Amino acid sequence: MSEHSLDVSIDTAADRGSATLSHPQKKVMAAADESPAAGRLSSYAWDAYVAEFVGTYFLVLTIGLNVVQENSLAPLSIGAILMVMIFAMGSVSGAHYNPAVTLAVYLSRRQKISLRDAGIYWGVQCLAGLIAGATFWGVLGDSFPLEPSAALISADGKAAAIRSACLVEILYTCALCFVILNVATTKQDTPNHYFGLAIGSTVGSAAIAIGGVSGCSLNPAVSIGVIITHAIASGSGAGLAYLGLYLLAPLVGSVFAAAVFYAVRPAEYGLPFGK
């Protein structure tokens, strides 16, 4: 591996003889005062960007195909595709497949990913979401809205339903990002052989718990792919009013996840009260 490998969500455990879900691609150079080369930007990690596109694409495509067909096993299918894509390409890109995860990894510091690469990940993930949305629409000839529960709107009113959807999207995105930071990026718990299962299970559990409240996006790339596809397919821009909610709530959740991670993992930051 090049000495310019970039720290994403997966650290290469060379001294432990295996790669885990924090393997770095093209490491960002150190401070400029170390050497003339140290101030240079890292080279572009094209393999990591392609991996993020592929993983996000199949995640959003699987969500769309399941939901349009009203598959009762959708949470299992979605959690499983996420798990296998994480195992497949975790050592390539960190297997974020979600702008909220990328933000949480960046905010957790520890030089896991640079700001530039985080921005590229966001763009690639959102593009993959859009193309996946077009794919499931093309395959099934149908789309679906991503919006607060119609039952909650009828029972409690639109404002209350929006608040409930926003709250659960924040909470469960926080849970997802918190799990990822713990099982995939820490010195204490990596390498391990369960990170993909833990992350996929979190998404499956969330889908069962809050699917009837918010639709369970937890992922701005999913939100963009589903909402924009439905707006185009419906011909009326239906659902675009909720795009802001489903973009911002997961990002807020990721910020909380990074803060909680800092509180429970002081050893990651060299603090004296950590293990």
Mind giving me the DSSP string for 94-138? ----SHHHHHHHHHT-TTSS-HHHHHHHHHHHHHHHHHHHHHHHH
What pTM was estimated for this model as a whole? 0.84
**Among 9-23, 173-187, 244-258, where is mean pLDDT lowest?**
9-23
Residue 274 pLDDT grade (very low, low, confident, very high; cuts 50, 70, 90):
low
Residue type, 203: V
In a domain, 193, yes or no: yes
Q: Give the pLDDT confidence of 189-243 residue by residue, as tens digits.
A: 888 999 999 999 999 999 999 999 999 999 999 999 999 999 999 998 878 999 9
Q: Is the pLDDT of residue 147 over 50?
A: yes
Q: Specify the DSSP element, H or E, that contains 177.
A: helix 158-184
Establish if 25 belongs to a structural domain: no
Q: CA geometry: angle at 213 spanning 211 and 218, to 5°?
A: 60
Query: Do the domain assignments include residue 23?
Result: no
SS (H, E, C) 188-245: CCCCCCCHHHHHHHHHHHHHHHHCCCCCCCCCHHHHHHHHHHHHHHHCCCCCHHHHHH
Q: What is the pLDDT of residue 217?
A: 98
Q: Which CATH number do you get for residue 168?
A: 1.20.1080.10
User: Is the confidence at residue 266, as pLDDT, over 80?
Assistant: yes
Does any domain span residue 243? yes
Is 26 inside any structural domain? no
User: Which pLDDT does position 190 carry in this prediction?
Assistant: 81
**Segment among 36-45, 117-126, 137-146 with least mean pLDDT:** 36-45
Query: Within a 10 A sphere around the Cβ of 179, how many other Cβ atoms?
Result: 18
Q: Is the pLDDT of residue 25 over 60?
A: no
* pLDDT reading at 7 higher than 70: no
pLDDT tens sequence across 95-104: 999 999 999 9
- The chain-wide mean pLDDT, for the chain, equals 87
pLDDT above 90: residue 38: no
Residue 175 within a domain: yes
Residue 30 has pLDDT above 50, yes or no: no
141 φ, ψ (degrees, to nearest 5): 65, 25
pLDDT of residue 18: 37
Q: What is the pLDDT of residue 237?
A: 86
Residue 16 structure tokens: 């432990």
Asked if the structure places residue 150 within a domain, the reply is yes
- The tokens describing 96, both together, are 């974020």
The residue-averaged pLDDT of 130-152 equals 97
What angle (nearest 5°) sits at the alpha carbon of residue 107, between those of residues 121 and 132?
A: 25
Domain count, the chain: 1
**Is 22 among the domain residues?**
no
Q: Assess contact for 117 and 6: CB atoms under 8 A.
A: yes
pLDDT of residue 169: 99
Q: Is the pLDDT of residue 28 over 50?
A: no
124 is in which domain, residue-wise? 44-269
